[in-house]
A and B are shown apart, each in its own frame.
Chain A
Amino acid sequence: MSYFRAENLSLHFGGLKAVDAVSFAVEKGEILSIIGPNGAGKSSIFNLISRIYRPTSGRIFFEDQDITEEPPYDIAKLGIARTFQNIELFENATVLSNLLVGRHRHSTTQLWQELLFLPSVRANEKVHRRRVEQVIEFLDLEPYRDKLISGLPYGVRKVIELARALCSEPKLILLDEPSSGLNVEETDDMSFWIRDLKNELGVTVLMVEHDMSLVNRVSDRVIALNYGRVLAMGSPAEVQQHPDVVAAYLGA
């Protein structure tokens, strides 16, 4: 069985088929990219997986468990973290507290313990803080720990979003256009980090991306979508030469 699997996933808005009977599987430890023109349904698939939308039909499996009916907040608890295309950080909080929210799925303390800040809470906080520090080190975020998000540049915010997702120690991470809005150097850094996610942390990556050079550099496999349907699936080179994909991008 595959690690993560979507079967006949569909999302219809009235007559519009944003996602139309899409099936794919992600193997453990691979980097799978989803490409496609604007409006192809790439982000919709992500929103279906993280349960922001409810699928019209189809099922989603993760580690052989049907997660189609799980509530949105339990998706993170299962070990699926995500980033957003248009950064969704907690603007008026510091970088540290943003990253600590990423640790939320590991928090075990009760409300009354927190009100008194019992030693158990303090010990837990230190564990969270240590984990967060490891991620900060991994992504070179040391200069920003106590800065407010609202004062940080776009490129840094993008990295912080990745960091927040990593803080939850995910097994599968969904990256929604990790390089959008980044300059060439920042995109380079991002591609190294995405490879490191796989090689050093052993995280499985599912990614939506427009930048083909980034896709080519990091992906093990690529899925091309158009009008909510799968056009092609395979290695980056295969998919880019597929006649349907060429037609979708350039017009037949």
Chain B
Amino acid sequence: MRFLFKTAYEDDIKLFPHSGYVVSYGILLALLLIAPFVLSSYLMSQLVFVCIYATVGVALLILTGFTGQASLGHAAFLAIGAYTAAYLQKYNVPFPVYFLAAGALSGLIGAMVGFPALRLTGIYLVIATISFALIVEEILARWESVTHGNEGMRVKALSLLGVPVPRDSPTFYFLCLAVLVLTIVGTLNLLRSPTGRAFVAIRDSETAARSMGVNVALYKVKSFAISAAITGFAGVLFAHKLSFISPEMFTLQLSIEFIIVILIGGTFSLHGAVLGAIFIVMIDPFLTYLKDDMPGMIAGIAATFGAGPATAGNIQSKVAAFASLNGLKGAIYGIIIVLFVLFEPLGLYGRWLKIKLFFQLFPLYKRATFKRQKIYVKSERNR
């Protein structure tokens, strides 16, 4: 086990508490940098999606994880970013300009959504953000002069300094990776400065935050704006990666996927956003694989237990019909959320920390270490 001896105030501010972190993150970065020259183009494409989802995950963590304001409307911010990019691209606006414009517009709208949120908490806020997402979806479908309605919009390959960057090139991957890394570093900076601490204060006790001089309304709006702006940036990359956008891509299901990213990754640390993004991007091909192979597999098992070819064929078609049911994916997502909330509320990153502690303390690890702490009664909460 490593003991940290702090000898300067600087030690509490550092991003990397000790050299071990520098080494492990350095190795990770090196692996990510050589990835495009080693991995197959399919995996590279998945990795780009991981970067985009993780960026949105970090944005959602700022709002939901650290400020405590739940949102099921982040697909709308992603859409605003994506459509801004597609629209401005038609007028030959250069990439850096429309990239920034998409973030700024999304952030502005995020701040506007933040104002009604000042009076709403918990489930009511969730409902309000869902309604916002539905409104945006509807606008995208109806405002045909700008968005081309349900026909959708083509997004040309982005060009950086006059050089076109195709969506499956290593350069595009590096761009997504850079956006993710910059987002994470910026967020970490924010969290170790007064604004980030004000966010956490609002999450844990608005009354106490207010009496410590935090302008709760202002910081909630700030949190919404920052979160929406980052999601807007991610939206630009998302549009370029898909090269075609239409309103039905930015549905409630996408917002739920973003919530899954942080719930499954872990809501208390930025690691959670990345782990959750890997999970959500990788579960889709896994489900497709199951859908294709399960019927045959189950029929095979039935056959070994003595079912005739007719019965086996019957089973195979029944299972195949079940696997291709509409909405099965949503149901599986729902089950995953429920299981995580019940059994691993700290998410994948929380699980990783427990595993790490188990080996650090071996053989002294107690299961009670992570038992819920006694919570003292709060009777007179001034809301």
Hey, which bits of chain A sit against chain B, CB under 8 A?
A: 43, 47, 50, 52, 71-77, 81-82, 84-93, 96-97, 100-105, 107, 109, 111, 114-117, 121-122, 125-126, 129-130, 133, 150-151, 154, 157, 164, 168
Contact = CB atoms under 8 A, between A and B. Distances in A.
Interface string B367-383: 00000010111111110
Interface centre among B10, B12, B189, B268 (most CB of A within 10 A): B12
Interface stretch (B190-198, B286-294, B353-361): B190-198
Interface in B1-39: 9-10, 12-13
Interface centre among B10, B201, B216, B381 (most CB of A within 10 A): B201
Contacts of B380: 43, 85-86
B306 interface: no
Contacts of A100: 194, 197
A11 to B, nearest CB: 13
B214 A114 contact: no
Contacts of A129: 9, 12-13
Nearest to B13: A125
B212 interface: yes
16 contacts: A47-B382, A52-B210, A72-B210, A73-B213, A74-B213, A86-B381, A92-B204, A93-B200, A96-B12, A97-B197, A104-B197, A109-B193, A109-B194, A115-B189, A151-B373, A154-B376
Contact of B215 (A50, A73, A81): A73
B205 interface: yes
B211 A82 contact: yes
B211 A72 contact: yes
Interface residues of B, number: 41
B148 interface: no
B156 interface: no
Given A125-B13, A129-B13, A86 B200 contact: no
Nearest to A150: B373
Contacts of A73: 210, 213-216
B192 A117 contact: yes
B5 to A, nearest CB: 12
A101 B209 contact: yes
B222 interface: yes
A205 B379 CA distance: 25
A71 B200 CA distance: 21
Contact of A88 (B186, B190, B203, B207): B207
B208 interface: yes
A10 B230 CA distance: 47
Contacts of B377: 86
Contacts of B193: 107, 109, 114, 117, 121, 125
Contacts of B214: 73, 101, 104
Nearest to B189: A117
A76 B211 contact: yes
Interface of B: 9-10, 12-13, 186, 189-190, 192-198, 200-201, 203-205, 207-216, 222, 226, 268, 373, 375-382
Nearest to A82: B211
A118 to B, nearest CB: 9
A73 B376 CA distance: 26
A91 B381 CA distance: 14
Contacts, number: 132
A140 B306 CA distance: 75
Q: Which 9 A-B pairs have the closest CB atoms?
A: A76-B213, A107-B194, A90-B204, A105-B213, A114-B193, A88-B208, A117-B189, A129-B9, A73-B215
A101 B200 CA distance: 9
Contacts of B375: 91, 150
Contacts of B198: 101, 104
Contacts of B194: 100, 103-104, 107, 109, 114
B136 to A, nearest CB: 25
Nearest to B186: A115
Contacts of B211: 50, 52, 72, 75-76, 81-82, 88
Interface centre among A52, A84, A87 (most CB of B within 10 A): A84
B283 to A, nearest CB: 28
Contacts of A103: 194
Nearest to A91: B204
B1 to A, nearest CB: 15
Given A84-B208, A86-B380, A103-B194, 9 more contacts: A52-B382, A73-B213, A87-B376, A88-B207, A88-B378, A114-B194, A125-B192, A126-B9, A150-B375
A110 to B, nearest CB: 9
A193 B208 CA distance: 22
Contacts of A111: 190, 195, 222, 226
A74 to B, nearest CB: 8
B103 to A, nearest CB: 13
Given A47-B382, A111-B222, A151-B373, A93 B212 contact: no
A126 B207 contact: no
Contacts of A121: 189, 193
A127 to B, nearest CB: 9
B205 A90 contact: yes
Nearest to B4: A146
A90 B376 contact: no
Interface centre among B12, B193, B201, B213 (most CB of A within 10 A): B213
Contacts of A89: 204-205, 208
A114 B213 contact: no
A101 B196 CA distance: 10
Contact of B212 (A85, A125, A168): A168
A39 to B, nearest CB: 12
Contacts of B210: 50, 52, 72-73
Given A75-B211, A164-B212, A90 B200 contact: yes
